[in-house]
Structure 1
């Protein structure tokens, strides 16, 4: 059965801003509270604040960027969060886009798959008190964390295309997708995960799909909502490549409105009444997705927090009944 979770739909400026979402996870059938990489209040700190305020809920980091912290820091932060919340943590990682890599490194990764492989291996060894370390092309780690009882830290990998999916199948506990239509998950991501897992002789990792969506309303415009949620993603080459593999047909000279319509048409953004959204989410279940994270960033950007919380209650009620 597919679980449903909640994404914090903005970058908090104060940690108390995530408390209504942590409360919603605590009081409903939502599985987990997720936050992506933030450059204001950092998600590890925000989740720790929520735990200190009494909302000790399962959390997921989807995804944090490898260039911002050494694997030792990544492992330490993830395990610390598990110990603080008392729940399992999904620690998702990704290399970020080329421009981000250039901003935090001397140059972008020449071999991003190798860089991520070395990073994930180093974090897993640190979490498992493996003293062998990593001496790689991109990662050097000779440190060790002290042994301590803690809830499990699952390692996730942000996945858009077949190469990273094969790597996730080989190394990760979770494949975390963003903006990926259900048909593309079924036809491309799942076979690639299976290929990587079979090569490594291990089980296929679980799939968490971050799915942007919004309820249809007479006073809302679908295109405007999509752009409030994903306008930047619709300009990034790696997202355009993934969406075009999924059949979006986005052309270089397409304007923002056209790109937004094509995103809805290919199933990358879900829009409709509650029953229709439940039907569209069922396609992710059929594709093999284990967890759907409800992403209402567009609603937050246009209508604010109360509209998001109201919509989450409606959707969670529809999806989990």
Structure 2
């Protein structure tokens, strides 16, 4: 299981573009398996990935995730392929429809028929990324066009999918899924079987299953969980996340994070790999010392895993 890390999260304060590049460079130096960007009200994720990718060669890059509703698939295809051409085809494009509260209150758009929206979006986006001409006449999208970007290969596309319908869409049309706030039981009994069956039914290869969670290597796991409860407790109010916590049988975000000393964290990461996760995106948190301890250890684990697979 490859281990990367989120960058530019601003958990410990605002980040300039130089700060973000430094985070990515540090991740590469520590031996982590990738740098990922969440969509936040700061630097644009794909632009930041381009800047960092040009400054730090070799490291895989990804978005987890950018929201589809405010982006036409033809526009996103052109942007993603431009990033690919700039960074030497190292991008994983993670996308998702987002949540009703954010789409409607922040973007002022109507969050209607998210599964239909996502299915049509991918039916347009995937061939565009391959450089094909698209003529699509759906209920939501009517698209006629093509995107040509010399030197760009189609990036791997991950869909943020939590419920059974979206997991089916991810398995049939995307290359895998990226999930957040998802516990071990839910990965093993819900996410992996659902998306794998859909991919097999569509005649596709085994999907990528990317788990995105806060993580802390610490000698005080109770304090770390309390920190998550204070800073991310409101995630439990989002309906789709609340359904996840109920499925997992836990109360909220603090109960699904990965925390403990080095041995405990390694055991938890191994359990996610055994459950079927192919990659892990670490969101380190806490004091600067705790974040550094966490990233240093995760770099060691990732290098060891890569060495064993070589």
TM-score normalised per structure 2: 0.89
Corresponding residue to 2:268 among 276, 280, 297: 280
- Are residues 165 and 219 of structure 1, via their aligned partners in 2, closer, same or farther at CA, if it must alter by over 3 Å? closer
Contact 1:65 1:95 in 2 (8 A): yes
**1:76-225 correspondence to structure 2 within 5 Å:** 76-103=78-105, 104-109=107-112, 111-146=113-148, 148-218=150-220, 221-225=223-227
State the alpha-carbon separation in 2 of the partners of residues 227 and 38 from structure 1. 20
Contact 2:212 2:281 in 1 (8 A): yes
The answer as to 2:302 corresponding to 1:314 is: no
State the alpha-carbon separation in 2 of the partners of residues 195 and 15 from structure 1. 41
Cα offset for 1:8? 1.1
- Are residues 164 and 229 of structure 1, via their aligned partners in 2, closer, same or farther at CA, if it must alter by over 3 Å? farther
- Structure-2 residue corresponding to 1:8: 7
Post-superposition CA distance 1:38-76 (Å, at most 9, x none) = 221111111222234344532100110012211112111
**1:298-313 correspondence to structure 2 within 5 Å:** 298-299=285-286, 303-304=287-288, 307-313=290-296
- Are residues 195 and 51 of structure 1, via their aligned partners in 2, closer, same or farther at CA, if it must alter by over 3 Å? closer
Corresponding residue to 1:38 among 37, 40, 46: 40
Post-superposition CA distance 1:189-247 (Å, at most 9, x none) = 11111221133122231111112111223597133321255223122111010111111
Cα offset for 1:188? 0.5
**1:48-67 correspondence to structure 2 within 5 Å:** 48-55=50-57, 57-67=59-69
State the alpha-carbon separation in 2 of the partners of residues 95 and 32 from structure 1. 23
TM-score normalised per structure 1: 0.86
State the alpha-carbon separation in 2 of the partners of residues 211 and 108 from structure 1. 26
The answer as to 2:73 corresponding to 1:71 is: yes
Contact 1:113 1:164 in 2 (8 A): yes
- Structure-1 residue corresponding to 2:283: 295
Contact 2:63 2:92 in 1 (8 A): yes
- Are residues 29 and 53 of structure 1, via their aligned partners in 2, closer, same or farther at CA, if it must alter by over 3 Å? closer
Cα offset for 1:89? 1.0
Q: Secondary structure at the match of 1:38?
A: coil
Unaligned runs of 5+ in 1: 251-258
Q: Secondary structure at the match of 2:118?
A: helix
Alignment: residue pair count: 300
280-289 or 230-239: bigger deviation = 230-239
State the alpha-carbon separation in 1 of the partners of residues 160 and 31 from structure 2. 25
Post-superposition CA distance 1:169-205 (Å, at most 9, x none) = 1011121011111221110111111221133122231
TM-align CA RMSD:
2.1
Contact 2:9 2:38 in 1 (8 A): no
Contact 1:8 1:21 in 2 (8 A): yes
- Structure-2 residue corresponding to 1:253: none
State the alpha-carbon separation in 2 of the partners of residues 219 and 168 from structure 1. 34
Q: Secondary structure at the match of 2:134?
A: coil
State the alpha-carbon separation in 2 of the partners of residues 288 and 186 from structure 1. 7
